[in-house]
Amino acid sequence: MNTKVGLSTLDMTIVAIWIIGMMLIGIIVSYKSKKDTAQDYFLASKSIPWWVVGGSLIASNISAEQFIGMSGSGYAVGFAIAAYELMAAITLIVVAKFLLPIYIDKGIYTMPQFLEQRFNKSVKTGLAIFWVALYLFVNISSVLYLGALALENIVGISLVWAIIGLGIYAATFSITGGLKAVVWTDVIQVTALLFGGFVATYMVLQAVGGGVFEGLQTLIEKAPQKFDMILDKSNSEYMNLPGISVLVGGMWIANLYYWGNNQYIIQRALASKSIDEAQKGAAFAAIIKVILPIIIVIPGIAAFVLGADFIVDGKPKSDLAYPWVVNNYVGVGFKGISLAALIAAIGSSVAAMVNSASTIFTLDIYRPLLMKSDPQREHALDAHQHDSQELNVKEELHLVKVGKISAFVALVTGMLIAPSLGTLDQAFQFIQEFTGFISPGVVAIFLMGMFWKKTSARAAMVAVIMAIPLSAAFKYFAPMIPFMDRMGLCFLIIVGTMVVISMMENKNNDKKAIYFNANLFKTTRTFNIMAICVILAVAAIYIVFW
């Protein structure tokens, strides 16, 4: 197996120009971005147009866990792993139609802030702590690890130095400039990652069958088992993608959590100019999601058909599939473009996660729990040396400063944890499974809080407390249940528990129930056309490869 072949001078030049150029752009945008208030830093002054929202959503979502992780799962599982992308496209439409209007109508900055409005501070704080921990110990660290793994196997850089380099790259547009710097650099990076991804796919399909369509046909003929979209129990990967449950079960919990309740995703929509812009941006992202499997799953299947065998220290290492394809089938010059695309994907995702971890920590943990202990603030309050407006300005600037510091700490923590993930085979499945420990409870709390007026704060708090122990109990005492089914079962149990507790507490509607007019959910003709196209495209793919 050929892995560490390095890059030509031309490839290295392309990558160097990309890295230096993006870092300079990030620094310039950060310098010019308005950062006087929390809204400026954390929500980009609510000025983002729809096409930037959509591009940033994809750039934040597509990272090493897709390029490396999903290609690895494509090698091991096949095209069925594309369900995460295809079902995400449908979920984006649902979120845009039914959840975004409520979030934007409430004028929130963060997901925990919504929970405080609907329930209480305890629910907000509990989930805020969970989210920050998840970003640090799973999301940021895993993306850095997978990206570094690719660099190690394509360029020959050691894993640790690759992690450090990626961290520094992401820092230039994730710390000082806030969300505005992140989303505007995302627009450039999503263009690069899509183009670079298509280059790698095109070239490996050329090698397989002499052309894109010929190559796809050859893959289907030589590995038909890799194109089963619905796996049966005899498939060795059934535990990861359990048959029809992918369409009607736990996959919905994973996707609703990720696209509907996840800070670093929703934050882009909250920063949009209006609800119409947010919805069109989400629909635009959904259209891109439908075509993404071509560039992030097909290379892994091609590696399987081309006879690649990934065994490291006697253990399978499917995540080496994408680096193997780039090394062996992407030509000089284009290899640099593909690597630049991968770096773009990593940088944008890490920046998004760092920014959102910082947002939640600053606004939902530091401000309500720790900010009152700030000596300067207390002195100003006691001495009445400033009027309320000036004091508010100082508080805003202080929050921005804390946001920058916490972003730096989040990034460094992720970098320190990343090397410890080296024992994994399919890191993408690791991310999905351990995110699934919290997602059933989060989705239950949000959906019940939004759409069932009797849901009580105590019921929500019980859901927060029981989500992780319940998931852990299923994992360790019923390991034969696929983790996706486990998410669905945990969701139903949590919802049932919340119903019982709420009925005991509230004979009438909860005092903090949400009331809204049906007109809130009306969407524009443009959004409706985009949504219909996405749904038809996903249906067609499943019909063809059922």
The full set of domains in the chain, from first to last, is: 9-229+253-425+524-539 (1.20.1730.10)
Packing angle of the helix pair 483-505, 457-477 (nearest 10 deg): 150
- Nearest Cα to Cα of residue 251 among 112, 474, 96, 443: 443
* CA pair distance 202, 136, nearest whole angstrom: 35
157: Cβ contacts below 8 Å, ≥ 6 apart = 148, 151, 165
**Residue 174 · residue 388 · CB < 8 Å:** no
Return the structure tokens found at 519: 């007109």
Return the structure tokens found at 231: 């796996």
DSSP annotation of 272: B
H or E element, residue 316: strand 315-316
* CA pair distance 356, 261, nearest whole angstrom: 12
* CA pair distance 322, 306, nearest whole angstrom: 13
- Which of 12-16, 278-282, 509-513 shows the lowest per-residue confidence on average (mean pLDDT)? 12-16
Q: What is the pLDDT of residues 479-496, one digit of tens each?
A: 889 888 999 999 999 999
Alpha helices by DSSP H, 384-524: 388-417, 427-435, 439-451, 457-477, 483-505
Mean pLDDT in residue range 381-398: 55
Q: What is the reported pLDDT for 383?
A: 41
Return the structure tokens found at 243: 């048959």
Mean pLDDT in residue range 178-205: 82
| Cross-strand bridge partners of residue 48 | 272
Burial 462-475 (b: 16+ CB within 10 A, else e): bbbebbeebbeebb
* CA pair distance 430, 149, nearest whole angstrom: 15
* Number of CB atoms found within 10 A of residue 117's CB: 15
Residue with the bigger pLDDT between 530 and 242: it is 530
Return the structure tokens found at 349: 């995702």
Helix, strand, or coil (residue 48):
strand
* CA angle (91 as vertex; 88, 95 as ends), nearest 5: 135
* CA pair distance 92, 509, nearest whole angstrom: 30
Residue with the bigger pLDDT between 30 and 136: it is 136
Count Cα atoms within 13 angstroms, Cβ side, for 432.
29
* Number of CB atoms found within 10 A of residue 370's CB: 12
546: Cβ contacts below 8 Å, ≥ 6 apart = 229, 230
Mean pLDDT in residue range 318-330: 86
Residue 430 pLDDT > 70: no
* CA pair distance 482, 476, nearest whole angstrom: 12
What is the band of 426 on the pLDDT scale with cuts at 50, 70, 90?
Answer: low
* CA pair distance 52, 394, nearest whole angstrom: 31
Q: What percent of the chain has a predicted confidence (pLDDT) above 70?
A: 89
Q: What is the pLDDT of residues 33-86, one digit of tens each?
A: 655 566 666 665 677 889 988 988 888 788 766 777 788 889 988 999 999 899
Q: What percent of the chain has a predicted confidence (pLDDT) above 90?
A: 39
* Number of CB atoms found within 10 A of residue 37's CB: 17
Residue 387 pLDDT > 50: no
87: Cβ contacts below 8 Å, ≥ 6 apart = 246, 247, 251, 252, 255, 538
Measured between alpha carbons, how far apart are the two ends of the chain, in Å? Answer: 33
How buried is 518 (Cβ within 10 angstroms: 0-12 exposed, 13-18 middle, 19+ buried)? Answer: exposed
* CA pair distance 381, 372, nearest whole angstrom: 10
Residue 204 pLDDT > 60: yes
Q: What is the reported pLDDT for 5?
A: 47
* CA pair distance 146, 421, nearest whole angstrom: 9
- Which of 1-15, 187-201, 352-366, 437-451 shows the lowest per-residue confidence on average (mean pLDDT)? 1-15
* CA angle (515 as vertex; 117, 269 as ends), nearest 5: 60
Q: What is the pLDDT of residues 163-188, one digit of tens each?
A: 999 999 888 876 766 667 777 777 88
